[in-house]
Every structure is written in structure tokens, then in C-alpha cells.
Amino acid sequence: MLSKKIEEALNAQINAEMWSAYLYMSMASYCHFNGQSGIGKWFEVQFKEEQDHAMIFFNHIISRNGKVTLKPIDAVPNDWKSILDVFKTTLDHEQKITQLINNLFTLSTQENDYATQSMLKWFIDEQVEEEDNAQTIIDNLNMIKDNGYGLYMIDKELGVRTYTVAAPLLANAGK
């Protein structure tokens, strides 16, 4: 059973993950509007992944006899200065999410909630990957600067990304 503190913190994380999904959908829209459909598709996959993340927290709360409480999602930005700015915003956002996950882990340690700690370990690894991916794309965009062909190539490369259901959701698929 979840403590009240953990239940509230996990519900807040669901909201943060849904805000993230909404942010990435906005970024996808920005990219499509600016002729970068491959990068737009990359952000569409990010959108779906963030929804998965919210569902992992949702399922965890339910499985621990907690109550999911959904709250309004705040507005997200809709415009950026450039594709590079979009990815800088992405990295900054993922670093904030990493801090939220770390805070949840700290709280679950304080509350001796080993089941939540176990669930959060997947997120800790996921956040390392998320930050690394954003930083790599930023590095590549900085390398090409204003080279249109370089941006074209990055757009094509990112456009082949495909969505894969998050592993913790596959584990619960038969339940």
C-alpha cells in the first residue's frame, strides 16, 4: 500500500508526464509547420513515450491500492527561435524530469517503499537515455550550424524513429 506522500507525489508525476507529452506534441507541430517533418515525427514518438510514462505511474498507483487523481495540465510553449532552440528546451525539460524522478526515489527511500523504488529504477535509466539523446542532437545541430543540407540530413535521420511501447507496460499487458 502506498503512503499518502508517495501517492500524492506519483499523481503529481503523472501530471508532469502528461505535460511532457503535451510539450512534445507542441514541438512536433512547430517542426511540421517549419518544414521539418522528420524531426516532427521524432517528437511525435516522444509524445507517445511520455504518455507511456504516465501510464506506468498510473498502473503502479492502481497496483498498490492507491487512487489516481488527475489534475489540469498547464499550457505549454508553442513557438521557438529555431530547431536548435527546440532541442535545448528538450534537454532542459528532460533534466527537470530527471530531478523529479530523483526526488521521487529519495521520497520512496525515506518512506521505505521498496516497490516504488523498484519501479523508479527503470525511469532513472530512461532519463539517462533521454538526456543523452537530446544532447547528441544538440551537438549535431551545433556542428552543422546553418548548413541547410546538414539540417536536411538530421531531419531525415530523426524521421525514421519508430515508437516502441515502454517495457514496463509490456510486462503488465496481460493483467
| Predicted pLDDT at 1 | 87
Domain borders along the chain are: 4-171
Per-residue pLDDT of the chain (175 residues; tens, 9 = 90+): 899 999 999 999 999 999 999 999 999 999 999 999 999 999 999 999 999 999 999 999 999 999 999 999 999 999 999 999 999 999 999 999 999 999 999 999 999 999 999 999 999 999 999 999 999 999 999 999 989 999 999 999 999 999 999 999 997 665 5
Using a cut of 0.75, tell me whether the model's pTM lies above it: yes
Question: Contact, 172 vs 59, CB < 8 A?
Answer: yes
| Predicted pLDDT at 174 | 57
Distance from C-alpha of 49 to C-alpha of 24, rounded to nearest angstrom: 10
Q: 36: which DSSP letter?
A: -
Q: 164: which DSSP letter?
A: -
| Predicted pLDDT at 109 | 98
Distance from C-alpha of 159 to C-alpha of 149, rounded to nearest angstrom: 15
The DSSP annotation for 57-126 comes to HHHHHHHTT------PPPP-----S-HHHHHHHHHHHHHHHHHHHHHHHHHHHHTT-HHHHHHHHHHHHH
- CATH code for residues 4-171: 1.20.1260.10
